[in-house]
Chain A
Amino acid sequence: MRRALAALVAAAALLALPAAAVAADCPRTTLGDIEDEVMCPVCGTPLELATEAPQAQRERDYIQRMIADCRSKDEIKAALVAQFGDSVLALPGDEGDDDVWDALVYVIPGVIIALAAVGILFAATRWRRRPRGASPRPAPEGPAAAELDADIDRYDL
């Protein structure tokens, strides 16, 4: 009985070997790994944000079919470009034909951060230079002091 069981286990292992070999060769590509790097061309948003659009669903199905065919991430992105053109690529620089706009994607946030830093530095410098502990007003003297005393007396404080 034990021998039969061992033979059965060995046979099962042998059958599983080709499948395991295929799985080992298959790149570990996931839909989640790709859909944040490609666009839904009709929606004009990254695919991961286009949850309801039917075109986005078709695109996901297409990606899933390629994942099932053991295609790598780069191969899948290349296939999407063949279908929809360069504009399907979401990451700046991926398209390769629009260098100025790709550069602006990085430059504009950099400029905004630099401006904010300059503004903070400028404000901090002015704040540090302002005179500390403003001196109290001098007490009135002469006729003004007499007038003030008369006013205070009138109100019976």
Chain B
Amino acid sequence: MRRALSPISIGVVLVLAALIALLAYGLSSNEPDRSVEQSLSRGEPKEAPGLELPRLSGTGTGSLADYRGKVVVLNVWASWCKPCRDESPLLQRWHDRMTSRGGTVLGVDVLDVDSDARDFVREFKLTYPQLRDGDGRVLEDYGVIQYPETFVIDRGGRIVAVQRGPVDDNFMRERVAPLLREGA
């Protein structure tokens, strides 16, 4: 004959199940968003999530929509990030090349002290537009998990390439230059 479970046993099991469910939820909610890579692997570029942030200069806000019709190299960086220091001169060179061809680099400074970030911009003489995502929440939509990361957005506002880590000249030649040639 099977013994019936006591109310205490049922209660303990229910509470344990709730704790395990909570733990599973916590783990799953910390998983980085990889929908950009998944879309690219299917050959279906993903619409770039909207982005409206304060400008790093402290005056007003800027958004991705401001650059509609342009090729945008969206670069996520922070002043404390060593690889970001290494790639900044290259991004500035490419920005100079892109501006006359309907393109721009758009920097997004993430989880950084604003004065440190402004010092960084001055140090590397960066002239491309800079936005600031102090708490890093907006870039959750892009699945940013490391710094720097770069998203190439075509004239139609779709993410067509992503680089998790610093970009190099080859990446820019292969992924950005063809989009510039497509014309404004």
Which residues of B72-115 have CB atoms within 8 Å of chain A's CB atoms? 78-82, 111-114
A59 within 8 A of partner (CB): yes
Q: Is the CB–CB distance between B116 and A58 below 8 Å? A: yes
Say yes or no: A85 contacts B134, CB within 8 Å: yes
CB proximity to A under 8 Å, residues B42-91: 78-82
Report the minimal beta-carbon distance from B61 to chain A, rounded to whole angstroms: 16
Whether A83 pairs with B80 at a CB distance below 8 angstroms is no
Contact of A83 among B8, B22, B134 (CB under 8 A): B134
**Does any Cβ of A come within 8 Å of B137's Cβ?**
yes
- Taking CB atoms, residues of chain A closer than 8 Å to B22 are 104, 108
- Do A55 and B78 touch across chains, with their CB atoms under 8 A apart? yes
Tell me what chain B mostly uses at the interface: helix, strand, loop, or mixed. loop
Residues of chain A contacted by B81 (CB below 8 angstroms): 54-55
Chain B interface residue number, banded: 10 to 19
Q: How many whole Å from B17's CB to the nearest CB in chain A?
A: 13
Other-chain contact of B15, A82, A87, A88, A115 (Cβ < 8 Å):
A115
| Contact A84 B82, beta carbon cutoff 8 Å | no
Assess the B113–A41 pair: CB atoms within 8 A: no
Looking at the complex, which one of B19, B79, B111, B116 makes contact with A108 (CB distance below 8 Å)? B19
Q: Measured between alpha carbons, how far is A84 from B136 in the docked complex, in Å?
A: 8
Whether A27 sits at the interface, judged by CB under 8 Å, is no
Q: How far is the CB of B43 from chain A (nearest CB, A)?
A: 33
| Residues from chain B with Cβ under 8 Å of A59 in the complex | 113
Q: Which residues in B have their C-beta under 8 angstroms from that of A88?
A: 135
B27 at the interface (CB under 8 A from A): no
Residues of chain A at the chain B interface (Cβ within 8 Å): 41-42, 54-55, 57-59, 62, 82-88, 104, 108, 111-112, 115, 118-119, 122
Q: A54-B81, A58-B116, A108-B22 are in contact. List 7 more A-B contacts (CB 8 A).
A: A41-B135, A42-B78, A42-B136, A54-B82, A55-B78, A119-B12, A122-B8
